[in-house]
Amino acid sequence: MELNIPKEKYKKRADDAVEKSDIWVNLLKAFLVGGIICLIGQIITDCGLAAGLSKTQAGTTTSILLILMSAVATGFGWYDNLGRWAGAGSLLPITGFANSITSPAMEYKSEGMVTGLGVRMFIVAGPVLVYGISASIVAGIITYIVGII
């Protein structure tokens, strides 16, 4: 016995049966949490500038401190709860990048410090580096060529 429903039609039916999450609520949550993380970043940057760091130094310091905070929050098991609430709001700031490196490292520690933790650390964040770095190299080569023309 088979269902006489074409696959495309059934796929649509199954997709339509899913209760849509409230998109405006999700957007608001992402906006709030993303905004707050960036606000914390701005405060750290300004403190760095006030302490006499250069603009670049202050920016790097901000990244490092936000990453530290995120890694610690991940270790305590808080960041996944924040992510469940905030979605992209906690995924897209640099803290989400740190979470995506720390969480698989923790998860795969049981398979060994090298074969587990070390190997799997980049299963989520790896593509960010692969495509980010590659894109910047391509852009750099174009910049160089345009420069000598």
Is residue 115 part of the contact set for another protein (CB under 8 A)?
Answer: no
Is residue 2 part of the contact set for another protein (CB under 8 A)?
Answer: yes
Output the CA–CA distances (angstroms, integers) from residue 137 to 6, 10, 97, 109, 132, in the order listed: 46, 45, 21, 33, 9
Is residue 71 part of the contact set for another protein (CB under 8 A)?
Answer: yes
Nearer to another protein, 51 or 129 (CB): 129
Find where tokens 């998109």 sit.
23
Minimum separation from the CB atom of position 149 to another protein (A): 14
Tallying the residues shown for the chain, one arrives at: 149
Is residue 53 part of the contact set for another protein (CB under 8 A)?
Answer: no
Find where tokens 């894109």 sit.
135
Nearer to another protein, 52 or 147 (CB): 147
Q: Tell which one of 42, 51, 54, 115 touches another protein (CB under 8 A).
A: 42
Is residue 143 part of the contact set for another protein (CB under 8 A)?
Answer: yes
Q: How many residues bind another protein (CB under 8 A)?
A: 103
For residue 87, what are its two tokens? 């979605």
Which residues between 83 and 112 bind another protein (CB under 8 A)?
Answer: 83-84, 86-94, 96-111
Is residue 149 part of the contact set for another protein (CB under 8 A)?
Answer: no
With 0-12 / 13-18 / 19 or more C-beta atoms within 10 angstroms meaning exposed / middle / buried, residue 116 is: middle
Q: Tell which one of 53, 81, 119, 149 touches another protein (CB under 8 A).
A: 81
Is residue 14 part of the contact set for another protein (CB under 8 A)?
Answer: yes
Is residue 48 part of the contact set for another protein (CB under 8 A)?
Answer: no
With 0-12 / 13-18 / 19 or more C-beta atoms within 10 angstroms meaning exposed / middle / buried, residue 88 is: middle
**CA 46/CA 58 separation, integer angstroms:** 8
